[in-house]
Amino acid sequence: MDNTSKRRSGAHATMEDVARLAGVSLKSVSRVINREPHVSPKLRAKVDAAIAALDYVPDMAARSLAGSRTFIIGLLIDNPSPNYTMKVQTGVYRACSEGQYHLRIDQIDSTQPNAGLEASLAAILRNSRCDGFVLTPPLTDNPVVLDFFDREGVDYVRIAPDIDPARAPGVIMDDFAAASVVAKHFWSLGHRRFGLVTGPESHGASHFRRKGFLHALEELGATEPVFEANGRFEFEGGIEAGLELLRANPRPTAIFATNDDSAAGLMVACSRSGLSVPRDVSVCGFDDSWVARSVWPYLTTIYQPIEEMGYFAAQLILDRERDRQKLVTLPFRLVVRDSVAEAPS
């Protein structure tokens, strides 16, 4: 029976069928399916082609029983930005799908007492064995989480680590440099009075963005004080911080909000204060999320590769031969839109 008639008959292809069509051993097929290291690209291509031709679907239960893996990756989240959460999930899921893994997502409250946090983590381990976990900020830098996983021998990869980044594999971008680019862009347009909407204290990225922005202004020769208010990476927080900054005297002509959610709230604060963006106040965000094109004028922002960070974090778990201290650095870019203009005369 040829492959076409086999599919028409409704029969399920087996690993033996894949091995026969690819002209390789059953062991070779198993190594490719289980994403084992040291498999040649030529062998992987032959087996993948046979799998596609036969519409072969690996038996996940059989794969788990055959080795020490469960073919499940866990994603732990505690982030106030819905956009950030959605993009990370998309990236991790894509990597899981390509690697024929399942994805488990858990929301963890990192602000609870240490005993409660450890109990939550222990419950996750009891309820579902995972081959590894992707940690997102602020869990990425939470010592209770890191110590617990290290003590239990659990594999994990950190997104955007701040504290002791070499402690475990991770995926990062240069938040300090990205915020510096924002400051230089404002300066090039003639702005000399600045505001800054910061993020949560528990997020390492918030600190790097603040420091990068202020450091660049200092190097550029800024003499006016930079007014700051905490927006908590939230839309409502951006409104509150914006109203506070706009009461400053003299008022800032350019404000950097350290994520897009708080930048959108800042723009609402400008409208409530009778100010026009960017005629009276220029606004820049950070993330290049869907929010950036949901406000008017469209938001100038830093593109943060959030989805790609999730994808590569999951890939690091799938790579069983990876360097235990490996850090993957992904690029950023300034996306110039309509919310930033030359300083008012």
CATH homologous superfamily of 175-304 equals Response regulator (3.40.50.2300)
Task: Tell me the backbone φ, ψ of residue 92, rounded to 5 degrees.
Answer: -65, -40
Identify the residue whose tokens are 């971008």: 173
The two structure tokens encoding residue 272 = 């409530």
pLDDT of 262 strictly over 90: yes
How far apart (Å, rounded) are the C-alpha atoms in residues 83 and 260? 9
How far apart (Å, rounded) are the C-alpha atoms in residues 225 and 223? 7
pLDDT of residue 205: 92
What's the angle, vertex CA 25, arms to CA 24 and CA 29, rounded to 5? 85
pLDDT averaged over the chain? 90
Q: Is 254 exposed, middle or buried (0-12, 13-18, 19+ CB in 10 A)?
A: buried
pLDDT of residue 31: 78
Helices (H), ranges, the chain:
3-9, 15-22, 26-33, 41-54, 60-66, 82-98, 114-127, 143-152, 175-188, 204-220, 235-246, 260-272, 306-318
The two structure tokens encoding residue 91 = 């990236």
Share of the chain above pLDDT 90, in %: 70
How far apart (Å, rounded) are the C-alpha atoms in residues 299 and 332? 16
Chain-centre distance for alpha carbon 174: 13
How far apart (Å, rounded) are the C-alpha atoms in residues 138 and 198? 15
Q: Taken in order 82, 100, 138, 199, is the CA torsion positive or negative?
A: negative
Which strands, in side-by-side order, build the sheet including 132-135? 102-107, 72-77, 132-135, 156-159, 170-172, 327-329
Kindly report which listed range (156-160, 199-203, 238-242) carries the lowest average pLDDT score.
199-203
Architecture of domain 72-173+307-329: 3-Layer(aba) Sandwich (3.40)
The two structure tokens encoding residue 12 = 């399920």
Looking at the DSSP bridge assignments, the partners of residue 170 are 158, 327
Residue that wins the pLDDT comparison between 34 and 109:
109
Provide DSSP, 54-99: HT----HHHHHHHSS---EEEEEE--S-HHHHHHHHHHHHHHHHHT
Note the pTM of the prediction, 2 decimals: 0.77
How far CA 166 is from CA of 41, 73, 162, 318, 323, in Å, comes to 30, 21, 10, 19, 11
- pLDDT tens-digit map of 144-160: 999 999 999 999 999 99
Same fold, 72-173+307-329 and 175-304: yes
Contact present, 137 and 165 (Cβ < 8 Å)? no
DSSP letter for 134, please.
E
Task: Tell me the backbone φ, ψ of residue 339, rounded to 5 degrees.
Answer: -85, 0
- pLDDT tens-digit map of 69-108: 788 999 999 987 888 999 999 999 999 999 889 999 999 9
Domain edges within the chain: 72-173+307-329, 175-304
3-state secondary structure of 334: strand
